[in-house]
Amino acid sequence: MLTSLALIFLVGLAMAAICQKLRLPRIIGMLITGIVLGPHVLNLLSTSILSISSELRQMALIIILLKAGLSLNLSDLKKVGRPAIMMSCIPATFEILAYVLFAPYILGISRIEAAVMGAVLAAVSPAVVVPRMVQLMESKYGTGKSIPQLILAGASCDDIFVIVLFTTFSSMAQGGSAHLMDFVNIPISIVLGIALGAVVGYVLSLFFETAYAHKHCVRNSTKVIIVLGVSFMLMAIETWLKGIVSVSGLLAVVSMACVLKMKCVAFVSKRLSEKFGKLWIAAEVILFVLVGAAVDIRYTMTAGVAAIVMILVALMVRSLGVLLCLVRTQLTMKERLFCIIAYLPKATVQAAIGSVPLAMGLPCGKIVLSVAVLAILITAPLGALGMDMSYKKLLTKERENG
């Protein structure tokens, strides 16, 4: 296992650096590393690490969601208001509908399998979007109309909405039929997830503040370990309560991070965010290399043309959803175009849950994973390069004295 971890980190980081030099997103290098080192090409990774890859990927997803929660300013969310709330669910809903309507004809799968595929593919990638929006806020591009805040807030919530839908659709696919309670459980899961996370976040902030007041200063590194441990426990609670009541563990994690940001001293929450950013460097490598390793590249190539057509059709329908969210806003057509580009990249969630249908034994598992990886390879560079090359032309730079 140590040899495998050495290969994952060293080759993954080397390939990421090469892609960065070529002005491509780093995750492409990591995915290629996983595909080449994985069991379907060179077979250099041990079975022991592949057998726990789903748990490792879930841990990586928790880290990026904590980072997103600690980066999200709720006052910015209130400032952009209705469009931000709509951006968190409407574009993803449009994309899922596109898969449900067109995937049975293009890819030859059933409607419920198309819904599972749509839920896997519909989330925008915080790994690609969040760092770029933070950079725009620092360089004051689009901040006059809170465009980076709008995209950051929407993208942070969008993932949670999609993951809840994915859980519902995948359980329906296993059972073979849809039940009303599956859809009733979506709002229940969202509300209970937010409430649980908010309570836990408040208790954690009280603990940190009380410790500080009694001169038992908890080091920021220790706080990171405590927050991670509590996050894993929130995910476990979701599993424990399965069949009794529906709770979104991942939404609880984000909610906890948001409350910590609000209740802790600004310096502390900033330091925590920075430390989770550093943890993400390692987690990102593990996440994307292992998802690459799970892909049978030969099967991906055979699904190629039809899958690419489906991805492009879904992106066009998704873009209509973004435009609908921006109706009756002050944004110009150029600024709306930037929002569409920013909502293209897929990576984090697709890498984390793309192989879940295959692990569940669903007949559509292989094609869902193949389309997920193709979507990452197409949309991550398309969205990342699109944002990097267009923001100066499409967004207005705010004056320093403004």
For the stretch 259-318, pLDDT in tens is 998 888 888 888 898 899 889 889 889 988 988 887 777 767 767 789 999 999 999 999
Alpha-carbon distance values, 158 to 82, 249, 312, 318 (Å): 14, 15, 20, 13
Q: How many CA atoms does the CB half-sphere of 315 hold within 13 Å? A: 21
Decide: pTM greater than 0.85.
no
Which residues make beta-bridge pairs with 141?
397
What is the helix (H) or strand (E) element at residue 182, kind and residue range?
helix 180-213
| 289: its two tokens | 């290399």
pLDDT at 344: 94
pLDDT at 343: 94
> CB neighbours (10 Å) of residue 302?
13
- Each residue's pLDDT, cut to its tens digit, for the chain (402 residues) gives 899 999 999 999 999 999 989 877 787 899 899 989 998 889 999 999 988 887 887 888 788 778 878 876 676 667 777 898 899 889 999 999 999 999 999 999 999 999 999 999 999 987 788 778 878 887 889 888 889 888 987 887 787 778 778 877 887 888 755 566 666 777 787 788 889 999 999 999 999 888 877 777 778 889 999 999 999 999 999 888 877 887 888 778 988 998 998 888 888 888 898 899 889 889 889 988 988 887 777 767 767 789 999 999 999 999 999 999 999 888 999 999 999 999 999 887 887 788 889 888 888 888 998 898 889 888 988 898 899 889 999 999 887 644
pLDDT at 310: 95
DSSP-derived secondary structure letter, 395: S
Euclidean distance between CA atoms 259 and 372, whole angstroms: 32
Alpha-carbon distance values, 263 to 23, 194, 287, 332 (Å): 39, 16, 31, 36
pLDDT, the chain, mean: 86
Cβ proximity of 142 and 395 under 8 Å: yes
Q: For the segment 89-147, what is each residue's pLDDT rounded down to a tens digit?
A: 899 999 999 999 999 999 999 999 999 999 999 999 877 887 788 788 878 898 888 89
Cβ proximity of 228 and 243 under 8 Å: no
**The total number of residues written for the chain in this structure:** 402
Please give the distance of CA 355 from its chain centroid, rounded to a whole number: 15
